[in-house]
A = this chain, B = another copy of it.
């Protein structure tokens, strides 16, 4: 233990990039002996109960600002946990809601958030079934922190490590719009872009049986998440520059601000891998939800994630390192 004395937590260790991964793996190592978390490939745990599988997951939400174009902290807390269950191919059956509220926080804002939670929960058809409410002294937390957990049931689990060479890589819509919407207030730019935050359980219900792998590109965006999927699946992925799943406006704003396009987070989109013969079926189903769904690349034998550009070079995609953008999920 002596080597870690005087070490303190850095903000980068929460960014979803390489230093986050290291902190999490240090925590997992301590919990490893008999705990299944360390053996778990995904962000959720799976229990078998008869023919059913129970999927169980959790996420903490500290978002600044708490209200943003297209949503608020409550909406992403509910949809985020519903989505974490959905990407495993499970049907979410209940969400828990744990609130930590700062003394002096506006009750108007609190109830606005709770209404948004209620609305998202009803839209997705997944009830809030249990909860906890704590109030803490002024200054001990910034406004409000929400942690949701959720359980779902599945017959068959989709993992994020199931990509096979040849698979088409599909995104369920344009990416990064959650980050763009959140940053518009902080960087004071005008944009029509709204956060993409929403529960996508209905989409997965339609296409789940065709998915070899699935993941939601939240923290760390497309870059961190597609790299993780490729590494775990032991395949290489070639993305096609001309199909990159970003709107013109998103691209323009990142150019202007010098942000890394591929690390922008989404809160209502997923990336999936589909056998070539099923790709058209999946695209057709997903188009009913979002016109911007598309094939962004292919898996091949090998390793690493690269982007094919107009001039045929394969540019390596790298994991975001450290603190790339302000906290947005």
With both beta carbons as reference points, the residue of chain B lying nearest to A121 in the complex is identified as B35
Interface check A108, CB cutoff 8 A: yes
Interface check A153, CB cutoff 8 A: yes
Task: Determine the distance from Cα of A70 to Cα of B56 in the docked complex, in whole angstroms.
Answer: 30
Task: Determine the distance from Cα of A139 to Cα of B102 in the docked complex, in whole angstroms.
Answer: 13
Given contacts A4-B108, A5-B108, A8-B104, contact A58 B149 (CB under 8 A): yes
Where chain A touches its partner, the secondary structure class is: mixed
Task: Determine the distance from Cα of A243 to Cα of B132 in the docked complex, in whole angstroms.
Answer: 32
A118: contacting residue among B12, B31, B94, CB under 8 A:
B31
Interface check A251, CB cutoff 8 A: no
> Which B residues are CB-close (under 8 A) to A59?
98, 132
Interface check A114, CB cutoff 8 A: yes
A27 touches B133 (CB 8 A): yes
Of A37-45, A161-169, A184-192, the one touching chain B: A37-45
- What range describes how many residues of A lie at the interface? 35 or more
Interface check A33, CB cutoff 8 A: yes
Interface check A50, CB cutoff 8 A: yes
Task: Determine the distance from Cα of A140 to Cα of B94 in the docked complex, in whole angstroms.
Answer: 29
Of A123-131, A197-205, A229-237, A285-293, the one touching chain B: A123-131
A58: contacting residue among B96, B103, B145, CB under 8 A:
B96
With both beta carbons as reference points, the residue of chain B lying nearest to A46 in the complex is identified as B129
Identify 6 new A-B residue pairs, CB closer than 8 A, beyond the known A13-B135, A60-B98, A60-B100.
Answer: A27-B110, A35-B118, A45-B94, A45-B96, A50-B52, A98-B147
Closest 7 CB pairs of A and B: A14-B135, A149-B149, A45-B129, A147-B147, A58-B96, A140-B142, A7-B107
Can you give 30 contacting A-B residue pairs, CB < 8 Å?
Answer: A4-B107, A8-B104, A13-B135, A14-B133, A14-B136, A26-B111, A27-B99, A27-B111, A30-B111, A35-B118, A35-B129, A36-B129, A37-B127, A37-B128, A40-B129, A43-B130, A49-B50, A54-B54, A57-B96, A58-B147, A60-B98, A60-B100, A60-B134, A132-B147, A139-B142, A141-B141, A141-B145, A145-B145, A147-B147, A149-B149
